[in-house]
Chain A
């Protein structure tokens, strides 16, 4: 099992300020055969199901604002929000999709100050 570790557990951010979430995997998520990192980022807004933000470590999903960006490779990844807005509140999860048994980070709760 690939263990996913996220930090911090929670963030309180002033609107318009940046935010950053870290995700580390217990083994590399890079697949040499296609050059992709199998790391996705999801946001679960209160009372909703998770919605895809970033896939393959850095590709923004359709309809996701460009204030969201993903970076990293191998075992260390980061999700950045350039300017947090009120609608960005919720819990952010990283997920590895390298194995059939996908695994998730513990989540980072983002709230607005």
Chain B
């Protein structure tokens, strides 16, 4: 069974940092591109970042470029999102997801609240 488990969320001050992790199981992690998608309170889904299965191709939402860094450890079945210089508008549930198509699977999400 495919499982994605996020961790690392919490309350962080504006300008601060937080590191999210996604532990994958039930599939050959290195074979799949992985995504971070967020959902602000009461809002829709917003793509944040993409990382190719090899880790060699990475993409970011414009508003997080230069502040967020995605990485993966294929040996450990782990994807991470380092969030620096966070802003109030980064407050959201952050989902780790395996996309698109028939691969579609999501974790339960981890909540990041940016507040003074």
Question: Does A68 make an interface contact (CB < 8 A)?
Answer: no
A-B contact pairs, 8 of them (CB 8 A): A50-B95, A52-B105, A55-B102, A56-B101, A56-B102, A91-B44, A100-B57, A100-B59
User: How far is B42's CA from A106's CA once the two chains are assembled, in angstroms?
Assistant: 12
Task: Given A49-B95, A55-B100, A95-B100, decide whether A104 and B45 contact each other with a Cβ distance below 8 A.
Answer: yes
Question: Does B55 make an interface contact (CB < 8 A)?
Answer: no
Please pick, from A38, A93, A101, the residue contacting B101 in the complex, using a CB distance under 8 A: A38
Chain A, interface size category, equals 20 to 34
Q: Which residues of B contact A (CB under 8 A)?
A: 33, 35, 37, 44-47, 50, 52, 57, 59, 61, 95, 99-102, 104-109
Which residues from A are CB-within-8-Å of B33? 100
Contact present for A50 and B45 (CB under 8 Å):
yes
